[in-house]
Structure 1
Amino acid sequence: MLSVSDAQAIILNLVQPLDNQQDTEVVELLAAANRILAMPVTSTLDFPHWDNSAMDGYAVRYEDVQHSSSEKPTVLQIVEEIPAGYQPKSTIEPGQAARIFTGALMPAAADTVVMQEKTRREENRVFILAAPKPQEFVRHKASFYQAGTELLPAGIRLNTSEIAVLAAAQCPQLNVYRCPRVAIFSTGDELVTVNQALQPGQIVDSNQYALAALVRESGAEPLLLGIVKDEPAALEKVITHAAAIADIVLSSGGVSVGDYDYVDKILESLKAQIHIQAVDIRPGKPLTVATLPAPQSVKDAMNRVSTCSPVYFGLPGNPASVLVTFWRFVLPAIKKLSGIKEGWEPVFLKVRSHDELRSDGKRETYLWGKLHLIDGIYEFHKAGGSHSSANLINLAQTNALAVLPPGKALISPQEEVQVLQLIIP
């Protein structure tokens, strides 16, 4: 049985990023939020676009005011008023100044701005009551960014600040990676949809909804293939179809060692290469990871979204196991596939535990709960109730998983614990 770290290494080695030539599309800026930039962006604009004032005050020549003080103020003639968006008409001569406002263009020959709080105005004259620093409160052209150089690199997620930068740089369209396509289905004769009345022995297929939400949060496109009965022929048909339309295939259930667990056998019959069948983790021990062969039929080959072999994740059937194995193994794979340049691995923090945390010490154990900021220090609060892999209810509002490594059966209250953050960056 593989360790968690070895399983992660195998998975990330299997997954290859989308191709920056074949797997890209052009989108409008307003549709680019949360997308991954496929090509570096440059701009024809300098930032700032021109020398401008960072303060309301007076544009002056430094050599005129360098010895100013409240006892011996420098008196300058005001020759122009320059609000933001106005093109200055004057050149500042010795003994002159221009009234200027934040963001306004600097007039010719002026090299410094004196903030208005250090001046006194009398009609068309201004008294400079303190010596400024040379070039004080002047934002120089191209001091933030020089036109023609790289503005944003490829392989980053476009969040709010990047969208703002691109708008300011007048980039109305962008080349981004297409969204990875993730096929999702659930296996089991006992499963029903949310709209069906429950009969004795049946359970609602919550896994498909949970996985669809997680896939969408990760920036990928979920392809829902429904519930598949525990029948080899039905499983083979849906796996073959999923391999033809998706980059990643997620199934839940059917990967343990029961009489009706057919997934691994079907994968072998389809000539898939199975890389993982069990991981030393609780919950989530039965985990199948395989690479599926290229589609055989002409129709499936034409529908294929990528030239790379799709990666198959056969997740356990219990809902807590599904969520934990997704957060721990599938999410990093989707992030790498999506074209993000770096930072695929899960983010762990060392925090203080509010509660006593226990495991049997045999496997790497994940306990769900919430991070709270207490007096400036993050503290992990374990969710109440049973931490059974079948208990979905107390997973609500979870934002972190506490990790107890093998051999560590107890973490006492106020002791340090490593947690996996569940916020998708």
Structure 2
Amino acid sequence: MLSVKEAESIVLNLAQPLDSQQDVETVDLLAASGRILAAPVTGSLDFPYWDNSAMDGYAVRFTDVENCSAEKPAVLEIVEEIPAGYPPQITVQSGQAARIFTGAMMPDGADTVVMQEDTRREGDRIFILVSPEKPQAFVRHKGAFYQAGTPLLTPGTVINAPEIAVLATAQCIQVPVYRRVRVAIFSTGDELISPEQPLASGKLVDSNQYALTVLLAQMGCEVIRLGIIPDNENALKKAIAQAVLTADLVLSTGGVSVGDYDYIEQILADLQGKVHISSVAIKPGKPLTVATFKRDKQASTSPILSSDCLYFGLPGNPVSALVCCWRFVVPALRKIAGLGADAWGPEFVTARCHAELRSHGKRETYVWGKLHLVAGVWEFEPASGSQNSANLINLAHTTGLAVLSASETRISPGEFVEVLKVS
């Protein structure tokens, strides 16, 4: 049985990023939201595009106003008004000023902006009542924030609202992004029914497929749902064979323990899959299977077949399935999707615990609950009720998993504990 760290290392080594040439598509700017940048973006424009005013006020020559005061104001002739969006028409000469508004282009001849609060206007004359502290005051210079031809955004960047703003400013309306990772999922077990079916004695509603579908969709994956597969070797073999041909990563739940109807590992071997992990010293989630399927890149006619397929056989218990997904699958998907190495995760924080946490030891134990940031300090509150791998009810509102190492059996209230952020 592998330790959690050993399993994590194996999983991340097996997960291979999408190809930066073959697995790239170009999308319109707004369609790039939430996608991962696949190639460097270099702008062809300086930003600001030209010298402009940071204030509503007056564009002046510094030498005309450097020694003025309320008692001895500089008096200048207003020769032009420059709204934002209109190019200046006049060069400001000594003794002159231009009325200017925030974002408007600086006129030739002027090198400083005096904000209007420091002035008094009388007709076409402006009285400068406060001397600027230095030349170039309130002027945003061309290229001060970005110089054309230098890197603007790097591959592996998630494109969210700030990045969309940057791309729009650079007039990058076609964006190269990685294609979405394709993930096939199915649940196994004769006992399972879908939520819309009537509940009969001995049956269980399959919540795993729904929870995992949403988690994967939130990560930007393309989800291929294969439904519920019965505990039948032929049916399972057919489903797995189909899944590994159509997906980058496959997730199944159930069928990976040591019961008489747990067929997954044998089927993986029959299909020439290589099993790398069979169990992990984690609670909940001990029966975890990880395998890979080699694919013939030369014979491939589809981009999806150009890379190996990574297979996760998750436990069937709902909490175990989600814990294993958060701990192992999510980092693997981040790497496959093309995120930079610093963003693969998992992300841990140190938090003060509100209640006693207990473990039987021997396995690394994960306790679910709420993670809060209070006055700059992370705090963790375990979910009320039993911490049982079959009790998915108190999973609601989970934002963190407190971690007790294999050697820890107790965390006292008020002590600090490492917590895995899960949302």
Is contact 2:278-2:288 (8 Å) kept? Answer: yes
The equivalent residue for 1:207 is 208
| TM-score, length basis structure 1 | 0.96
Paired amino acid for 1:228: I
Provide the secondary structure at the position in 2 that maps to 1:306: helix
Provide the secondary structure at the position in 2 that maps to 1:227: strand
Q: 1:304 to 1:72 in 2, by over 3 A?
A: closer
Q: CA deviation at 1:196?
A: 1.1
Are 1:89 and 2:97 counterparts?
Answer: no
Are 1:223 and 2:224 counterparts?
Answer: yes
Q: CA deviation at 1:370?
A: 0.7
Provide the secondary structure at the position in 2 that maps to 1:394: helix
Are 1:232 and 2:248 counterparts?
Answer: no
The equivalent residue for 1:341 is 340
Is contact 2:349-2:378 (8 Å) kept? Answer: no
Are 1:198 and 2:199 counterparts?
Answer: yes
Paired amino acid for 1:211: L
The equivalent residue for 2:185 is 184
Paired amino acid for 1:173: Q
Is contact 2:295-2:305 (8 Å) kept? Answer: no
Q: CA deviation at 1:192?
A: 0.7
- Cα shift readout 1:107-153 (whole Å, capped 9, x = no counterpart): 10100001111111111111111221210000001111112222111
**1:376-415 mapped onto 2 (5 Å cutoff):** 376-415=376-415
- Cα shift readout 1:352-407 (whole Å, capped 9, x = no counterpart): 11111111122111111111233443211111111100011100111111111111
| TM-score, length basis structure 2 | 0.97
Q: CA deviation at 1:295?
A: 7.0
The equivalent residue for 2:104 is 104
RMSD value over aligned CA atoms?
1.4
Paired amino acid for 1:185: F
Q: CA deviation at 1:39?
A: 1.0
The equivalent residue for 2:137 is 136
Equivalent-residue separation in structure 1 for 2:237 and 2:294 (angstroms): 13
- Cα shift readout 1:74-128 (whole Å, capped 9, x = no counterpart): 1111111111111111111011111111001101010000111111111111111
The equivalent residue for 2:36 is 36
The equivalent residue for 1:266 is 267
- Cα shift readout 1:307-347 (whole Å, capped 9, x = no counterpart): 11100000000000000000000000000000112210200
Equivalent-residue separation in structure 2 for 1:399 and 1:306 (angstroms): 35
The equivalent residue for 1:3 is 3
Is contact 1:246-1:304 (8 Å) kept? Answer: no
Q: Which moved more, 1:63-72 or 1:319-328?
A: 63-72
The equivalent residue for 1:280 is 281
Q: CA deviation at 1:15?
A: 0.8
The equivalent residue for 2:12 is 12
Paired amino acid for 2:188: T
Kindly report structure 1 stretches of 4+ aligned residues shifted beyond 3 Å: 301-304, 373-376
Q: CA deviation at 1:302?
A: 4.3
Q: Which moved more, 1:382-391 or 1:302-311?
A: 302-311
Q: May I ask how many residue pairs the two structures share in their alignment?
A: 420
The equivalent residue for 1:416 is 416
The equivalent residue for 1:370 is 370
Provide the secondary structure at the position in 2 that maps to 1:182: strand
Provide the secondary structure at the position in 1 that maps to 2:80: strand
Equivalent-residue separation in structure 2 for 1:372 and 1:162 (angstroms): 27
Equivalent-residue separation in structure 2 for 1:394 and 1:100 (angstroms): 60
Provide the secondary structure at the position in 2 that maps to 1:6: helix
Report percent identity of matched pairs: 61
- Cα shift readout 1:261-290 (whole Å, capped 9, x = no counterpart): 000011111121111001110000000000
Equivalent-residue separation in structure 2 for 1:370 and 1:341 (angstroms): 28
Is contact 1:179-1:338 (8 Å) kept? Answer: yes
Structure 2 unaligned spans of 5+: none
Equivalent-residue separation in structure 2 for 1:304 and 1:159 (angstroms): 26
